[in-house]
Amino acid sequence: MSLLSREPRGWRALRLAGDVAAGLAAFSLAFFLRIGVPVPFTAALLPGDRLRYLASDWLAVLATQVAALYFLGFYDAPRPRSRPETIRRLAAAATLQGLALMGFYFLANRPFPRSVLLLYVALDYLLLLGWRLALDRTDRRRVRQVAVVGCGEAAREIAVAIRAHRWHGLSVAGHVVVPEIGAEPAAGADPILGPRLGLAADLPALLAAGTIDDVILAGSQDSWQTRLIDSLAGTRPDHTNVLLLPGPFESLIGRMRYRWVHDLPLIEVVRESEWRLNRPVKRLLDLTLGALLLAAASPLMAACALAVRLTSPGPILYRQVRVGRGRRPFTLWKFRTMRDDAEGGGDEVLAQPGDPRLTSIGAFLRRLRLDELPQLVNVLDGSMSLVGPRPERPGFVQRYLSEVPGYAERFSLAPGLTGLAQVNGDYHSSPQNKLRYELAYMGNWSLWLDVSILVRTVKIVLTSRGV
């Protein structure tokens, strides 16, 4: 997934080149400063084949440098980041790299002067900080003017998002009316959508005149096609496929599967038969990686359990009924992050930013997503998958089924510990927006996509994004 407004060509390569240069300069300077201290850097610390030894050092330094910056979000599409946040994240990246290098030398069973390593981490942090702050000051992207086609709820949603997040480099120039999609045409300027630029037929002239740079199509969510998919979800046999005879517009949409009837192409909208083949592969990934993650996370889970026990009265684990594949209920496990009486009235209440019901340690566990670790047990027992739509509570499911068109289709898959909506969206994103990601995941699933989402989840945890 990429931003609509891309950063200038070569900007990401420039960031990478500067980071590599900072790492090389810091490593060289650390050796130079270490040699100059009263106790010289002895030859015993370097074997006879010094060039080969140092070459592996350079590779280790650069690999850990890029990996640490990647997982702390420094190669993501640029978001607004305050100077204190940049300082904090770079400090975390330098610390993470130092720990990784310590692990490398320990596992390789090779001597290396600790003073050089400590000097390197400090110097690298300072060089990276200067480089990144200078780079942020020079990042000036051209703002692209966008016309929103439509004037319904979906059109307003995208216009509000663009105005709230100007760092995307987009600006709403106005809206274009399409009366046939069922939305009520605006009479002139709209407080959210901006001025009325005309009808859909006027778009070529608007683009040619340079009035707008991009067009966003925001049609009606409650179409008859969506209502049909809703009615079929959970009731169709496993061998059922739903096919679409596309027009020119649908044919231009990327990565779709086709079938043919004589010389007519049909798009596979629902491919249940393919998921029947994919599920064993996905289940094997869940069992293998889930067991490894549970074993690796056991010490951390023990520490979390002790912290919950010592900081607030009540049980360590929190059990909650959620809705899984086929709308079947199951028991989900979490570390308790709220007061024991958080839902004393019995009503289901969504967590909110800065929720007062959170305990002191609970806020920390939730920020790093550590409260979700017990769900690895749910993954192993088959009620959940590592990647998939996040499971919701029964009351919310009933509400969303009646309010959100297409929501029933998400229950074709087992719910996930993480998902595309979690790595691309925000923690408190709307159910409508999460559903867009979940249906996109279902339509584009691959083993590589699952691995990619899991890797990006690590970045979300390390950067505490979305909480």
Question: Does residue 237 lie in a domain region?
Answer: no
More confident residue, 88 or 267: 88
340-350: average pLDDT: 63
Question: Does residue 262 lie in a domain region?
Answer: no
- Looking at the structure of the chain, the number of domains it has is 3
Question: Does residue 240 lie in a domain region?
Answer: no
Q: Do 442 and 293 fall within a single domain?
A: yes
Q: Do 188 and 290 fall within a single domain?
A: no
Q: What is the 3-state secondary structure (H, E, C) of the chain?
A: CCCCCCCCCCHHHHHHHHHHHHHHHHHHHHHHHHHCCCCCCCHHHCCCCHHHHHHHHHHHHHHHHHHHHHHCCCCCCCCCCCHHHHHHHHHHHHHHHHHHHHHHHHHHCCCCCHHHHHHHHHHHHHHHHHHHHHHHHHCCCCCEEEEEECCCHHHHHHHHHHHHCHHHCEEEEEEEECHHHCCCCCCCCECCCECEEEEHHHHHHHHHHCCCCEEEECCCCCCHHHHHHHHHCCCCCCCCEEEECCCHHHHHCCCCCEEEECCEEEEEEEEHHHHHHHHHHHHHHHHHHHHHHHHHHHHHHHHHHHHHHHHCCCCCEEEEEEECHHHCEEEEEEECCECCCCCCCCCCCCCCCCCCCECHHHHHHHHCCHHHCCHHHHHHHCCCEEECCCCECHHHHHHHHHHCCCHHHHHHCCCEEECHHHHHCCCCCCHHHHHHHHHHHHHCCCHHHHHHHHHHHHHHHHHCCCC
Q: What is the pLDDT of residues 245-286, one digit of tens each?
A: 665 556 556 555 655 544 545 555 555 445 566 778 889 999
Q: Do 279 and 399 fall within a single domain?
A: yes
Q: Between 360-367 and 272-311, two packed helices, what is the crossing angle to 10 degrees?
A: 150
Question: Does residue 239 lie in a domain region?
Answer: no
Residue 255 confidence (pLDDT): 58
Question: Does residue 335 lie in a domain region?
Answer: yes
Q: Do 295 and 213 fall within a single domain?
A: no
Domain closes at, from 200, 217, 234: 217
Q: Do 126 and 149 fall within a single domain?
A: no
Residue 216 pLDDT exceeds 80: yes
User: pLDDT tier at 51 (50, 70, 90 boundaries)?
Assistant: very low
> Would the pTM of this model clear 0.75, i.e. be above it?
no
Q: Do 336 and 403 fall within a single domain?
A: yes
Q: Do 120 and 153 fall within a single domain?
A: no
Residue 268 confidence (pLDDT): 59
Q: Do 16 and 160 fall within a single domain?
A: no
Residue 41 confidence (pLDDT): 43
403-419: average pLDDT: 87
Residue 256 confidence (pLDDT): 58
User: pLDDT tier at 202 (50, 70, 90 boundaries)?
Assistant: confident
Q: Do 150 and 109 fall within a single domain?
A: no
Q: Do 204 and 155 fall within a single domain?
A: yes
Q: Do 16 and 111 fall within a single domain?
A: yes
Residue 262 confidence (pLDDT): 42
More confident residue, 283 or 54: 283
CA separation for the pair 367, 467 (Å, rounded)? 6
Question: Does residue 261 lie in a domain region?
Answer: no
Structural domain boundaries enclosing 211:
144-217
User: pLDDT tier at 384 (50, 70, 90 boundaries)?
Assistant: very high
Residue 125 confidence (pLDDT): 93
Domain closes at, from 86, 114, 138: 138
User: pLDDT tier at 409 (50, 70, 90 boundaries)?
Assistant: confident
Question: Does residue 152 lie in a domain region?
Answer: yes
Residue 211 pLDDT exceeds 90: no
Tell me the CATH number at 169: 3.40.50
User: pLDDT tier at 290 (50, 70, 90 boundaries)?
Assistant: very high
Q: Do 124 and 148 fall within a single domain?
A: no
Domain closes at, from 197, 217, 237: 217
Which of 144-158, 195-209, 239-253, 435-449 is the least confident region? Answer: 239-253
More confident residue, 252 or 66: 66
Question: Does residue 373 lie in a domain region?
Answer: yes
More confident residue, 341 or 177: 177
User: pLDDT tier at 354 (50, 70, 90 boundaries)?
Assistant: low
Percent of the chain with pLDDT strictly greater than 90: 21
CA separation for the pair 128, 19 (Å, rounded)? 7
Residue 364 pLDDT exceeds 80: yes
Residue 417 confidence (pLDDT): 93
